[in-house]
Every structure is written in C-alpha cells, then in structure tokens.
Amino acid sequence: MAGNPVAERDAMARARELAHRGPRGVNPQVGAVILSPDGRVLGEGWHRGAGTPHAEVDALSRLRPEEARGATAIVTLEPCNHTGRTGPCAEALLEAGVARVVYACDDPGDASSGGAARLQAAGVAVARLDEAEGEAVIADWLFVQRTGRPRVTVKWAQSLDGRAAAADGSSQWITGPQARAHVHRERSAHDAIAVGTGTVLADDPKLTARIDGDADAPQPMPVVFGTRAIPVDAAVRRHPRGHRTAGHDLERELFGLAADGVQSLYVEGGPTLASAFLAAGLADRLTIYLAPTLLGGPRTVLDDIGVRTIDEQRRLTVTRLEQLGPDLLVEATTEEVH
C-alpha cells in the first residue's frame, strides 16, 4: 500500500508533539496519529503513563471501527510486540484492520521489539520516517535502555581562573542573571537534580526550577548524595516533589533512579560531587558557565578526578558556545561513550 508522503510527514510531526504530552518515566513518550486513505486525520493519541493504553491504542479509541479499516497509523516508536500491563500494539493494529504503519524509530527492548516484523508478516505495509527526529523525542529514555542508568549532566559556574567560590567560600553570585535564568531552565528540563549534603548544609538550596512567566514549569526531584543528616528545617524538605537521599555508590544509585523512572539527572553540587561523577566516568554532558571575573585562592571547581599525567587528561567535545549576558555558556560531552 502506497502512502501519502506529505500527509504522513505532517502527521509524524504532529505525533512528536503529542508524545511530549505524556509523562517521562519508565516508559517512553510516544504519540500516534491515524490517517484515512486520503490523508485526513481520523484520530490522535499519546501514552499517558505506565498501565495506560499505548499511543496507538489511544488513537484508535477515537475512531469508529469502520474508520480504522484500511487506515494508516503514524507512530513515533515501533509498535510493541509483547504483553505487559497492556497488550501488544501490533496485535491491536491488526485487529483494527489498519493497512499501513509508519514509525520513526525501532523499539530497543528485547521483549517489546519486533512489532514491525509482526505487522509485515500479517500483510500490513510498514515504513520508516524521520528516525532522527523520533529518537530525539525519547533520547534520554533510549539512553536508559542502553546503559541502565539516567543520562547525567554535570553543571558548574566558575571564574575565568577556574574558581567556584572566593577564598572565604562565598559564591553568590559569580554569574549574572541571564546565566542563572538558564540554569533554572536546565533544572526544569531534567527529571532529577543532585547535590551533596555539603551543599545542603552550606547553602540550603531550594533546588526548584523558577522560570519567569511559567509558574507550572516541571520540577526536578531533588537527590541528596552523602551520609550526613539533612536538617529538619532545610529548604529541600519543602520541595514540591519531596526529596530522595543517596549514598556514595554513584553507579548503584543511578541504577536505582532509572528503575524509578528517572531518565536524566542534573548534578548541581559543589566540587566534591562533580569530581566524583567525573572520576567515576558517569558524567555524560557538562554545562559550564564562565564568568569574566577572577577570584584566585583555593576554591577550584574540581577536586581530584583521577588524572595523574597529561596523557590521562579528559578530552571533551564542545557542542555549544553561547553568550549569556556577560557570561559564556560552554556545553560539552565526554569523549568516552557510556
């Protein structure tokens, strides 16, 4: 069955928009659009969380049975082929009489993949479209499937001479308002935010995302690493998402966070925590704010990260440079692929 290229591409773009309506968590965000043979939109759907109908089934539920027969399903992820809390989407599409399925990226799961092959074996026309764009929608979820842990972003602000604070420990503020506003947008874009107990005791941070004009911005879940007690009146205890404590075994804690649906972690602690993630090879992305100021003194942005000789230096790939008011944003990825 030949498709309608223009209608299918428009529908795939719409499906990506719908996918973002679903919650981030253990399951991927997926959107679907059902098209008539002449390219009209018959129904839309998205996955609303674990245990709810998948996007394809949600979209099919908007149609009368006769509308689904001969229709085209556009979906951002390959229809699943296994029974979990819900049945296999490949079977639901077959039962509905859908004649063509267009999806963006393959399902990486050992148990859930194979939906495209199942559909083709039953005579349904199957095609791929916008793979890179589809993967971008669920990039963090795909990272969790490959590694078993969340994608980790380590952030710090520093003076040009590599200091995170003045000699007396004061650090508010090294950067200007534009850089600090960007930090809050980064917080909101991550599922969880990490600090060490030292930061909680010294700065009593709120760890919320405060974005002008967006009172409903998504909030990251605070994760406090360390063994020292958190004061009963600490601001983190009043966070709208509560907080979680974690020990010193970073990899084990990351696996636990992934099992609970955390796909991305924003590490915003001080030099001790940032250095621990780098030394352990668990920092995937760095977000660094360079302020045009000099502080001198001992408060460097990093402690020991395991580099003993110049041959062991940690090479980075810079992916973004941007001026934020007087400050410079540097985004980079680590050379090693985790």
Pairing of strands 41-46, 31-35: antiparallel
91 a catalytic residue: no
HEC per residue, 256-316: HHHHCCCCEEEECCCHHHHHHHHHCCCCCEEEEEEECCCCCCCCECCCCCCCCCHHHCCCE
Angstrom distances, CA of residue 175 to CA of 163, 169, 180, 285: 12, 15, 7, 20
Q: Is 142 helix (H, G, I), strand (E, B) or coil?
A: helix
Residues 6 or more apart in contact with residue 311 via CB below 8 angstroms: none
* Annotated catalytic residue within 8, 17, 44, 56: 56
Place of tokens 């009593």: 204
Answer whether 204's CB lies under 8 Å from 223's CB: no
Residues 6 or more apart in contact with residue 105 via CB below 8 angstroms: 76, 77, 78, 131, 134, 135, 138, 142
Active-site residue numbers? 56
